Each structure stands twice: as C-alpha cells, then as structure tokens.
Amino acid sequence: MTAWERADLQGARRVVVKVGSSSISGENAGKIQPIVEALAAAHARGVEVVLVSSGAIATGMPFLALAERPNDLATQQAAAAVGQNVLIYRYQDALRPFRIVAGQVLLTAGDLENRTPRTNARRAMERLLGLRILPIVNENDTVATHEIRFGDNDRLAALVAQLIGADALVLLSDIESLYTRPPGEPGALPIERIAYGDDLGGFEFGSVVVNSVGTGGAATKVSAARVAAAAGVGVLVTSSDLVGEAMMGAPIGTWFDPNPEPTASLLTGPVRTAG
C-alpha cells in the first residue's frame, strides 16, 4: 500500500481534526465559523470527519466571571460543565446551514485504557459516522482528575485517530507549521516534512505552554503526531486559519509521514504513549 501523502487529504475516507482552546474561545470565538465551513466542505465530499475540540473550560470562564484559567480542579470542572454546553451549541449553530448534526463524545483517559469503554466509544463513533453525524470529541473535564487526564487534546486526538482507524490527523495550531526552534528565535526554519523514524534530536521544540485559556505547545504536537504516525496515520500540523487549505491537501504546514508498516493499533491493549 502506498504511504499517505499530504495531498491525499482531499480524498481521505476518514480524518480527525483537532482544534485548541485559543483558536475558538474568547476573542477568537468567531473562528468557529470558518473551521466549520472547512469541515462541512469535506463532509460534502464524503469524508468522514471527527472533530476533537478543546475549549470547554475557556468557554465557560466568562460565565463564571473568571479572568484566568482556574488552578483548582473543582473550579475547572465547574467551568467545563458550563462551557461544554455553550461550545457544542456554538458548533451546532454554525453547522445548521449545512444540515449537519453534531454528536457530543466526552472521554477520559480511563475510557481508552480499558477494553469495555474503549470498545463502546469506538462503536458509538462508528455508528455516528455511519449516520453522517459529525462527532465532536473532548476530554470529559467534569469528571476527569489530574491523575487520569490525557494531559492535552493533541494526545487525545492521536488516540482517537488510532481508535477509529483514521487516514489522517490534522492538528490545528496558532502557527502555520513547526519550526526547527521556537519561531521567534534567530535561525528558526519551518519544517515541511518529517519522515517516519526521523531523529528529531536536533530540533528545539517549545516546551508545554500554559496560557490563560488552555494547554499545549509544539512539543505536545510532535509527541502526539509521532504516536499517530506510528499507527499508520498521516499527520499535518498547521494553523487553524488554514484549515480549509489543509483539508484540501494544500502544500502547507508540517507533514508527518505515517509508518509504512504499522503493527496492530496501540489501542488493542492498554494505552501506552511515549513522552
């Protein structure tokens, strides 16, 4: 079988798209519309799309009169409970003109580590896709604890891509591509492609960034991309502003070649990821 290429995204059978909190909350809440338009265009081509969306806590913060992301778990859970409701409403409102219905799927790390809930989650998403519903996945922040959290939704998206046998994973970020070092530093160069098995030791990916609304960073995207690529899933990392071009297979962002000879999915047993 020929390995997946970035240009193949336009004709993919099944794609997982992940968007972060900073891209769709606060002053960027209006960016939900162009993201949905790109997903709807892919859906109209027959692509089965799963959206992994962060943003529940960030979306709920204004309703709890919180200026910054709370540090204590109980307040995070309260903000998530309020924000998840509002977030799904915003997505469904944007999807309505395209006559696409969203289906909410909330997962914890424990759900994917244990066979029965993992099987149930896979079956539910397969059925949603078969009914032409657009699953919107997020971590179940209302019940998750620090000990059992995914850590970031880049990792969640990689695991979901494995779970449902996606052809490709698109990780949307605030910048167009990954760089050889933090893009603000002298000598930083964009990375167009990372072959499977490449040694990335010479690159300086930014450590995890925690801002006022979410968690993430280049390092988490690289870690998640390598998990998905190992399972045979092609991965594109690019800006949320370029989601339309990304879904059409345009030569943008950083592409991670998938493993040409993937073994059985990591999700056939307990989840174990590097990093």
Q: How far apart are CA 120 and CA 118, in angstroms?
A: 5
Helix axis angle for 218-230 and 153-163, nearest 10°, is 10
**Strand 168-173 vs strand 234-239: parallel, antiparallel, or unpaired?**
parallel
Lowest mean pLDDT among 52-61, 65-74, 83-92, 198-207: 198-207
- Whole-prediction pTM value? 0.89
pLDDT digits (tens, 9 = 90+) for 23-82: 898 888 899 999 999 999 999 999 999 999 999 999 999 999 999 988 888 898 899 999
pLDDT score of 167: 96
Both tokens assigned to 145: 């604890």
Averaged pLDDT for residues 7-25: 93
Q: 117-172, pLDDT tens digit by residue?
A: 999 999 999 999 999 999 999 988 777 665 445 557 899 999 999 999 999 999 99
State yes or no: 31 annotated in a binding site.
no
Q: Please compute the mean of the pLDDT values over residues 91-119 and round it to a whole number.
A: 93
User: Can you list the domains of the chain with their CATH numbers?
Assistant: 6-261 (3.40.1160.10)
Query: How sure is the predictor about 219, in pLDDT bands with cuts at 50, 70 and 90?
Result: confident
Q: In sequence order, what are the residues at sequence separation of 6 or more whose Cβ sits closer than 8 angstroms to the Cβ of residue 198?
A: none
Binding residue per annotation — 265?
Answer: no
Annotated binding-site residue? 54 = yes
SS3 assignment, position 225: helix
Question: Is 18 annotated as a binding-site member?
Answer: yes
pLDDT at 182: 80
Identify the pLDDT of residue 104.
Answer: 96
Q: Is 153 known to sit in a ligand binding site?
A: yes
Dihedral in degrees, nearest 10, Cα atoms 181, 183, 189, 194: 60
Q: What's the rounded Cα separation, in Å, for the pair 154 and 224?
A: 6
Tell me the C-alpha distance between 168 and 166, whole Å.
5
Average pLDDT over residues 107-122: 89
CB burial readout 81-100, b (16+ within 10 A) else e: bbbbebbbebbbebbeeeeb
Q: What mean pLDDT, rounded, does the chain reach?
A: 86
The larger pLDDT score, comparing residue 266 to residue 234, is at 234
85 annotated as a binding-site residue? no
